[in-house]
Structure 1
């Protein structure tokens, strides 16, 4: 087949797919894109954006409480779940329209239908339409994983929580990752009694141990019941409530159970296996450093590849793919030193190696400061911040930076720049501090911990 309908056909209208389609079109390619649900993907529709809006909403009780210590008198207050959800929906609709409009402005032909591959160059839509393309990009993201336990279908996932008509008074959140921990903080801040259950030895597996311990302790201090080495055995309907039985024999009656037990690549029903596209055991598409699959005409970016399931990573991968294939400029996405924010309460920000990872690679020095930030003084809040730098003894480079507290995500983004440039501890030390700020701790820690 030499005469194709499109130079590129993208399956999936999330952040990675939309970026790849737009850049390819700007390079002069004829591009088609199919999306069966809404444009913007997990991040815009039911992930990062609505979650952060809810994080903001859940932080106002702290602000109201702290205001008194700063001389303010705050009158009667109440929270209306339906108003928050309506405002969130309006903002998501606005953003989706922007995504859709930007595709059309660059000349991408969009199809509101599910798509599957029939051959390395042929795509069939659920509408029955058939198209051919020289290159195909899979950018279908991920989907929540729900464990196979009796009654699991009675619960919800991070997809559905944004659309609940009423706020649950009591809630169990199953899982210990950043999604579970973030929603535990959100719902607790909005007034729901939250019990978070995690079968491991500490929440936030994969992050630095000091972040894990500091956040868990702070969450408990804020009223979240965090139980580790605990799991759900069954969920049963009991009138208007759910009866949840745990592995220690306890039973809890709640209004809602949310499973935040991980996400899996969304590759089912795409026709990949029949084409010979190599997949991992969890369904992730195997790609090389150029995002190319085992079938030369088929590429994949974003969460569906299970490399680093983060929106900015999907965007960078999609952009690099388009530049490489259609822009005559070979670009490989760089997955090193990815800064990450965890919008728990308190917030965490991290970039680089954990202490365990760094110690496994060589000798290190650890610089750590735990302190009560100025924001919490007059308000009488005992919550403390944590700053941590991991430094190589051999070349003095800063290998990891881990922060817990107000603005941690913002700081992680900025500190990632000098770290990518190879900054040493002495470079940090030579940088003038901004006072009074919390961030100045990053350049004033002089003595390593024992």
Structure 2
């Protein structure tokens, strides 16, 4: 049995950040991956999404500027876009596993099954690790309805060679809203079916409703409180039926109804690791599972944090500090920013207005009359910041085509006393840019 200092299950952001630290040591590391090297984010999630965003954004930007200096809106050449994506990602797939293999790190393709506090089995081989880290992430939750198999997920979306004329998107979260944005920009007739009356739950709901209205004005149709009952197939066409009896004919169905932690079939129950199939693996303040030599990090860990890539980075670094550097302080998460790459974008850090407590108050800023917003046709741009009675920033929300980038300016301000003083001492951002809004808010 070959022995390692660390065995890492999953090759996503947890593995990448553990390896970044461990490669500076002589620790022997084994990375086990059952699917695509690099995990969801670079393969079927945030990275192909942001790649397509590079085309979608100028197209939609030109849509809003048509007749205001641009003669006509641009159009997406879908076959060329997807072919370019496939070419770029083919090179990525070829090199990603190699990037994780080094002098002190091995990689194995296969499903890792935990057989004990220090052992993992892959195929018919068993390996020993002083510590084991589970970073297997999330995967799309199956549609448990008749015909659910007919729906594709984000796993297949970014390789669609043919653009559908019509598409049904089931769900109302990040994935649903972002894929709907891409498809509509490319010319598809898009309908979103959401089982409840809310979209994008982590975000400020006033801004979410405004975003919904903007998307509707571009032609995206929303049906709220419309749980899907079944999907039927007739040739190349599909019919999606909701529980209230509505039928929707379409050329493509996308399941964006949620994600689940990858915890099944890994031996967790057999060795006594506590987990919930919906929430993930239970961990303590050092990311240890119920077996101290086995850790869980990132989306698969039930750590009380949003399932976002930067959270996985924090988890990975804490594990290294705990094991290698003897740090005993509990893991501490900084303010976590999040955003949806819709158009316009919506972004959030800290608390929302709905979460305000007694003494909290809101400062708002209309960004639509800023010259950069006027120039880009961003007529709905707006920002709100929540402070407590002592002037401490508790959260910020933004709706604009630059919201994802701009919200990062507020991350170091959340929880900070005297934000006006901080801003006054850090006024020298490039000008004119969205970062200059800080001066306007706190002068």
- The TM-score, its normalising length taken from structure 1, stands at 0.90
Match in the other structure for 2:139: 143
Match in the other structure for 2:398: 403
CA apart distance, 1:21: 3.3
2:292 aligned with 1:296: yes
1:220 to 210, 216, 220: 216
Match in the other structure for 1:337: 335
CA apart distance, 1:431: 6.6
How many angstroms apart in 2 are the aligned matches of 1:317 and 1:297? Answer: 15
How many angstroms apart in 2 are the aligned matches of 1:328 and 1:98? Answer: 34
How many angstroms apart in 2 are the aligned matches of 1:323 and 1:123? Answer: 23
SS of equivalent residue, structure 2 residue 230 = strand
Match in the other structure for 1:110: 107
Deviates more, 1:81-90 or 1:66-75: 66-75
Structure-to-structure mapping, 1:232-271, within 5 angstroms:
232-271=228-267
SS of equivalent residue, structure 2 residue 184 = helix
CA apart distance, 1:329: 4.3
How many angstroms apart in 2 are the aligned matches of 1:414 and 1:6? Answer: 41
Structure-to-structure mapping, 1:30-41, within 5 angstroms:
30-41=28-39
1:130 to 121, 126, 145: 126
The runs of 5 or more residues in structure 2 that have no matched partner are none
How many angstroms apart in 1 are the aligned matches of 2:382 and 2:88? Answer: 33
CA apart distance, 1:208: 1.8
**Contact 2:152–2:255 (Cα < 8 Å) also in 1:** yes
1:416 to 411, 415, 423: 411
* Two-structure CA RMSD over aligned residues (Å): 2.6
**Contact 1:22–1:108 (Cα < 8 Å) also in 2:** no
Match in the other structure for 1:320: 318
**Contact 1:11–1:35 (Cα < 8 Å) also in 2:** yes
How many angstroms apart in 2 are the aligned matches of 1:4 and 1:323? Answer: 25
SS of equivalent residue, structure 2 residue 222 = strand
1:390-438 Cα distance to aligned partner (Å, 9 max, x none): 0101x11010111110211111122212325445356557875976444
CA apart distance, 1:265: 0.6
The runs of 5 or more residues in structure 1 that have no matched partner are none
1:356-412 Cα distance to aligned partner (Å, 9 max, x none): 2222xx321111233425355467x4731010000101x110101111102111111
How many angstroms apart in 2 are the aligned matches of 1:221 and 1:106? Answer: 56
CA apart distance, 1:348: 1.5
How many angstroms apart in 1 are the aligned matches of 2:266 and 2:82? Answer: 33
How many angstroms apart in 2 are the aligned matches of 1:344 and 1:21? Answer: 33
2:67 aligned with 1:90: no
**Contact 2:378–2:401 (Cα < 8 Å) also in 1:** no
Match in the other structure for 1:55: 53
**Contact 1:265–1:306 (Cα < 8 Å) also in 2:** no
1:107-135 Cα distance to aligned partner (Å, 9 max, x none): 31111121111111121112x12211111
SS of equivalent residue, structure 1 residue 444 = helix
**Contact 1:396–1:426 (Cα < 8 Å) also in 2:** no
2:165 aligned with 1:165: no
1:189-238 Cα distance to aligned partner (Å, 9 max, x none): 11111111112222111322223222212211222112222222211002
1:299-354 Cα distance to aligned partner (Å, 9 max, x none): 11111114331111112211221232134445754334101121111101211111
Match in the other structure for 2:98: 101
Deviates more, 1:405-414 or 1:17-26: 17-26
1:62-96 Cα distance to aligned partner (Å, 9 max, x none): 24345655645569x65332322222223334444
**Contact 1:321–1:331 (Cα < 8 Å) also in 2:** no
1:384 to 380, 396, 411: 380
**Contact 2:146–2:231 (Cα < 8 Å) also in 1:** yes
2:356 to 351, 358, 367: 358
Compared CA separation, residues 261 and 315, structure 1 to 2 (3 A):
same
**Contact 1:349–1:412 (Cα < 8 Å) also in 2:** yes
- The TM-score, its normalising length taken from structure 2, stands at 0.91
Match in the other structure for 1:5: 3
SS of equivalent residue, structure 1 residue 55 = helix
Match in the other structure for 1:153: 149
